[in-house]
Structure 1
Amino acid sequence: MTPQATANSLFGDFTVKDEIKLGGEFDKMVRNRLPIILDPQIEGYVKHLVAKVAKHIPPQPFPITATVIRNNAMNAFAVPGGYVYVYTGLILNMKHEAELAAVIGHELAHVSLRHVARRMEKMKMVNFASMLGTLAGMLVGIAGGGSNMGNLGSAIAVGSMGGATSAYLNYTQENEREADHLGMNYLVAAGYNPQSMIDGFKVMKQRQWHISNTNIPTYLSTHPGLDSRIGYLQDRFKRMPPEYFERKDDDAAFFKVQTLIRARLTSADVALAYYMAIPENERTCLDHLGLGIVYTRMKQYKKAELSFNQAHELCPDDTLILREQGRFFFTIGEMDKASPLLREAYLREPRDAMTLFFIARIEGTRKNYKQAILTMRRVAEMVPHDQEIHYHLGRMLGESGHYFEAHSQLAYAALYGHDMKKAQFHLRKAEGLAKTKKQRDELTKLQETINPKPPEEEGNGKLE
């Protein structure tokens, strides 16, 4: 078996330190160019799941960082330095959490085995600019959210179970076999049924016949030996304790996240067709919740209210339903109905940033700015890089007469929304309003964030 990564690993000139640096720079590009999911319910779930599986990998010289990308393709991939990316399409199309955990385990195996780092070393790509340039070039043309978005996994060539290969960094069959076996170890250690890895393979194979060519996981076409991989994993089952296969799925959180992705992030027409295909007497509270969200998006508010009420009647204590029903009433301007629902959701789950966000906005509409600002600042601490949170915080500060803080927050909002012209505008406004030492310190931080210093030039052209 290939040795695990350690802090002192060195393959020629490509060290773990270099790997961390390269991964960090690539992650910045992804966040600047691709639609990252910041919904705390979705992002938090995926981060928790990745951490649950990663707990069982050998100690790594870098943290494992999980990110969710809004994309319909069934894909997940990893890059050097412990960065793992999961597409919403993968979450939506898996049938159980364990199958998603199997993909994550496979990706973490690639990370712990440093497969990409080893491929780069074999390519003798020890110049930082050439490495980053290769990865950056693979993002060209797919950042705009068009039809080519589904090819990201192919482009970056670092995904694997549902991801991809490329002429530059494709995994070998031996790499995939190693990641299958090691990923299975992680999956089982995390408490999941080993059968779920094969079930995940079968879902991908089945989806091959139901999705367009641009969204077929490249893995399926470039590695046609999927059946043989299922075969050798099944051979392993014969040597595993029978009780491993008696483990049951706990999909409560998984199904909630699927509902949010389907109802809020996919085409409203497609989501509506999905829910309408379910006989009314068989719809669960999450099905009614999904319908309520879809009808809200379609501005069919009477139908939406009916669906939310049905969801609430079936599951009156469900925190997500309370939150989303409160959010609906906020959307249609019925604050007196929204407020008690959101506050009940907050009492049940005080860490839900989305609930606090709408509680703050209600206080803002009531011009209770002191409480609104205090609450929205808490939300910004919980979700620090969300454009909408900083925008509404800036508006509240401006309406209450705190103009320096207002322009500072609006500058952050523009920055996170990738509108540099507007970010610079609000920065200049803030510069003219900074009076106190505290404000000048905050201004310095804002200036460094919006106009970071360029990285120092590499003296010898190689990674250090």
Structure 2
Amino acid sequence: MQYENPQIPEDINTSKENPLKEFSVLLVGSIALVIVVSLVLSLGGSWLAGLIPYNAEKKVASLYDVSAHDDNSDHQQITKYLQQLADKISKAQNLPEEMKITIHYMHSDTMNAFATLGGNVFMFKGLLEKLPNENTLVTLLGHEIAHVKYRHPIKSLGGGIAVSIAMTTLGRSADSQILGDTGLLSTLHFSRKMEQQSDIEAMNTLKALYGHLNGGAELFRIFHNERAAMESKEPAEFFSTHPQDEKRIESFSDMAQKKGWSETGTLTPLPDFYRNAFH
């Protein structure tokens, strides 16, 4: 037997691919994996959260002080008026008896309104003062109350918690408060599908209370004008996940045509105390 000692090629363990290309592939693959896993966790958490009984959701909300006591008589009168409208809307939307809506009026210039856990709905002066009539106000309230009806806050929170737990498991600081991170008392991030579902419910509410859809689309024209005025600035939080204004305006005509409903009709004026409170 003849012994041989061949020379080993210098590049035998070296890839012919550019190292940057390999790194890019690994990076893109890792990012894609994180996105897919986060999406699955979010959807799974949202679905599971939707199975939580509403009474349990109210107990969770009761652990947090969402009250905003205000001794101003004008503000209290506005809150009372908004609550009366909310009660009418709740009845029109056939909310379960235990699904009580609680309105919180916030005397702030913030252009916002949102629903959160336990049927708590926050309405801000900055948005309310721009509404021209009660029909438009009912459209806004009907939209937010519909979020509660379809359990959107708890579903959104559930998806956020699932992702937060996963991030903590992967090394994120465990001392951060999960409920705080997911925005229990701030605007929850609803999906476009949730927003569209609430828009449809708001239209049904408007028709049930007034017999027509007049005044509803005006809400989204207000949003459109505000967005145009802020196009050179940071977009308001309220606008971040909502469908495009033009499509929302068109949806009123589409619904009217589909259902045979009228887009015209008498508009109900806002009470004098309501208008005067903002001036």
TM-score, normalised relative to structure 1: 0.42
The ranges of structure 1 where at least 4 consecutive aligned residues each deviate by more than 6 angstroms after the TM superposition are none
**Structure 2 CA distance for partners of 1:112 and 1:42, relative to 1, 3 Å:** same
1:181 aligns with 2:181: no
Shift of 1:71: 0.9
Residues 298-313 of structure 1: pairs in structure 2 closer than 5 A? none
| Number of the residue aligned with 2:254 | 235
Q: Determine if contact 2:157/2:182 at 8 Å carries over to the other structure.
A: no
Residue 266 of structure 2: which of 243, 248, 253 is its match?
Answer: 248
Letter in 2 for 1:208: R
Q: Which runs of 5+ in 2 are unaligned?
A: 1-46, 166-175
The 1-side partners of 2:194 and 2:156 are apart by: 10
2:258, 2:177 → 1: CA distance? Answer: 45
Structure 1 distance, partners of 2:50, 2:115, is: 22
- % same residue: 23
CA contact (8 A) 1:66 1:83 kept: yes
- CA shift at 1:114, angstroms? 0.4
Work out which of the residue numbers 260, 275, 278 in structure 1 matches 2:277: 260
Shift of residue 69 of structure 1?
0.5
2:56 paired residue among 8, 15, 18: 18
Q: Secondary structure at the match of 2:121?
A: strand
Say which of 160, 181, 204 aligns to 1:134: 181
Q: How does 1:110-129 map to 2 (within 5 A)?
A: 110-124=147-161
Partners of 1:25 and 1:85 lie apart in 2 by 17
Q: CA deviation at 1:64?
A: 1.1
Gaps of 5+ in 1: 1-8, 140-155, 159-169, 263-464
Say if 1:185 and 1:261 are closer, same or farther in 2 by CA, change over 3 A.
Answer: same
Following the alignment from structure 1 to structure 2, what is the Cα–Cα distance between the partners of residues 248 and 10?
A: 44
Q: What is the identity, as a one-letter code, of the residue corresponding to 1:77?
A: F
Query: Which of the pair has the greater relative contact order for Cα pairs under 8 Å at 6+ separation?
Result: 2
User: Alpha carbons of 1:52 and 1:13: their partners in 2 closer, same or farther (altered >3 Å)?
Assistant: closer
CA apart distance, 1:173: 1.1
Q: Does 1:49 align with 2:85?
A: yes
Deviation of 1:37 (Å): 6.1
CA RMSD of aligned residues (A): 3.2
Q: By how many angstroms is 1:20 displaced?
A: 0.5
Counterpart for residue 157 of structure 1: 187
The structural deviation recorded for 1:80 is 1.4
Q: How many residues align?
A: 219
2:92 corresponds to 1:59: no
Instruction: Find the aligned partners of 2:143 and 2:248 in 1 and give their Cα distance.
Output: 13
The residue type paired with residue 273 of structure 2 is K
Q: Any idea what the Cα deviations from partners look like across 1:265-298, whole Å, max 9, x if unmatched?
A: xxxxxxxxxxxxxxxxxxxxxxxxxxxxxxxxxx
Report Cα offsets for 1:87-112 as digits up to 9, x if no partner.
11222111111111101000011100
What amino acid maps onto 1:157 in structure 2? T
For residue 219 of structure 2, the aligned residue among 186, 197, 200 is 200
Read off the aligned partner of 1:107 and give its amino acid letter: E
1:97 alignment partner in structure 2: 134
Distance 2:259 2:67 in 1: 39
Deviation (angstroms), 1:219: 3.6
Report if the CA contact (8 A) 1:220-1:226 is conserved.
no
